[in-house]
Amino acid sequence: MTAPAATEFKLADVPATEYPDQGHGAAPAGEATEGHTETVGHEEGGHGAKSGLPQLDISTFSGQIFWLILSFAVLYLVISRVAAPKIGGVIADRAGRIKGDLDAASDAKKASEAAIANYERALSDARARAVKLSDDIRNQVQAEANAKNDVASKQLAADTAKAEARIAEMRTGALAKLSTIARDTAGEIVQKLTGDSVPAGELDAAVASALKRS
């Protein structure tokens, strides 16, 4: 194993001898050595193993393009016949649900707006009825109070008139009694002082004159 390696190393270090008859760098036919044979075999083995990516090999481009087109065609058929309808159905179903939800939300909004409008209208009607009822009650109470005041005023006026009439009557009676008392008293005083009786007519005239002055 070690000897061939040393031989290859020596051959690599020794420059090739030029032979005009056999071409540049070619050894004579009788001088072919075992090391040279092994070196050539090694070079041929190196040419047999190609380096690089297989997909970049120009000789396989036609096959690669064919399988690429076939793969895209199969993928297109699968997507267009299987996946796309399912996805479209899901999208349509979702769009239908969304539309249904939006319609339901719109109906609910309209219903709520109608309910709010009805509530506000009912509240406004209730306020109007309350104001009207309050006005009616106030007017009725005022009318009753005015009627009672009128009755009371009339009753008070009647009572006042009656009282004034009674007072006038009592005053007249009192004056009549007073004049009688005054006449009798004056007649008694004059009689006691003078010993003479005074005529009743004179006593009445004197008492009447005194009451007028008072």
pLDDT of 184 reads: 74
Three-state DSSP class for residue 131: helix
Is the CB of residue 16 less than 8 Å from the CB of residue 27? yes
Could you give the residue ranges of the DSSP H alpha helices within 22-83?
34-48, 61-78
pLDDT tens figures, 108-158: 999 999 999 999 999 999 999 999 999 999 999 999 888 888 888 888 888
Higher confidence at residue 88 or residue 51? 88
Separation of alpha carbons 9 and 27, rounded Å: 18
User: How far, in Å, CA of 103 to CA of 126, rounded?
Assistant: 34
Residues 6 or more apart whose Cβ sits within 8 Å of residue 197: 187, 190, 191
Q: What is the pLDDT of residues 165-199, one digit of tens each?
A: 888 888 787 777 777 777 777 777 777 777 667 67
Q: Which of 25, 28, 3 is nearest to 15 (CA)?
A: 25
pLDDT digits (tens, 9 = 90+) for 34-50: 444 344 444 444 444 45
Whether this prediction's pTM lies above 0.75 is answered by: no
| DSSP bridge pairs for 23 | 19
DSSP string covering 44-61: HHHHHS--S-GGG-GGGH
What letter represents residue 14's amino acid?
V
Cα separation, 11 vs 36, in Å, equals: 8
Per the CB < 8 A criterion, the answer to whether 34 and 10 are in contact is no
